[in-house]
Chains A and B, each alone.
Chain A
Amino acid sequence: MEKIKILLVDDEKEFVETLSERIKMREHDSVVALDGEQALKKLEDEIPDVVVLDLKMPGIDGMEVLKRIRKAYPKVQVIMLTGHGSEKDEEEARKLGAFEYLEKPVEIDKLMMKIKKAYKNKFESSMMAATFAEAGEFDTAKEIRDKEEENENLNKVKKKSK
Chain B
Amino acid sequence: MKDKEIQFIGKITAGITHEVNNVFASVREISGLLTDILSLTSDESFKHKEKFNTSLEKILNQENRGVKLISQLNKFAHLPDSQSSEIDINENIQHLIFLTERFGRVKSIQLQMQPAEQEKKVVSNPFYLQMALFYCVEYFLNNLKAGGKIFFNHYNNQNNYSINISAEGEVFNLQKLFNDPSSMELSNLSKTLEVLDAAHEFDKTNKSVKIKLSIEK
Q: Determine whether B29 belongs to the interface, using a CB cutoff of 8 Å to chain A.
A: yes
One of B14, B29, B75 near A19 (C-beta < 8 A): B29
Q: Mark B59-97, 1 if CB is under 8 A from A, else 0.
A: 000010001000100110010000000000000000000
- 1/0 per residue, CB under 8 A from A, across B4-42: the answer is 000000000010011001101110111011001000100
The total of chain B residues at the interface (CB under 8 A) is 21
Name the contact of B26 in the complex, choosing from A18, A25, A84, A108 (C-beta under 8 A): A18
- A58 surroundings in chain B (CB, below 8 A): none
Q: Quick one: closest A residue to B27, CB to CB?
A: A105
User: Which residues from A are CB-within-8-Å of B36?
Assistant: 22, 25
Q: How far is the CB of A17 from the nearest CB of chain B, in Å? A: 9
What residues of chain A lie closer than 8 Å to B75, measured between beta carbons? Answer: 84
CB of A56 closer than 8 Å to a CB of B: yes
The answer to whether B33 touches A12 (Cβ under 8 A) is: no
Say whether A21 contacts B33, CB under 8 Å: yes
A15 touches B21 (CB 8 A): no
Contact of A105 with B18 in the complex, beta carbons under 8 Å: no
Q: Quick one: which of A5-29 are within 8 Å of B by CB?
A: 12, 14-15, 18-19, 21-22, 25
Alpha-carbon gap, A19 to B28, bound state (A)? 10
Which of these, A18, A83, A86, contacts B33 with CB under 8 Å? A18
Q: Give the 8 A-B residue pairs with the shortest CB-CB distance, closest first.
A: A105-B25, A18-B29, A105-B28, A15-B26, A104-B25, A84-B74, A83-B21, A83-B18
* Additional pairs, 12, CB under 8 Å, beyond known A14-B26, A25-B33, A104-B25: A12-B22, A12-B25, A14-B30, A15-B26, A22-B36, A83-B22, A83-B25, A84-B21, A84-B71, A84-B75, A105-B21, A105-B24
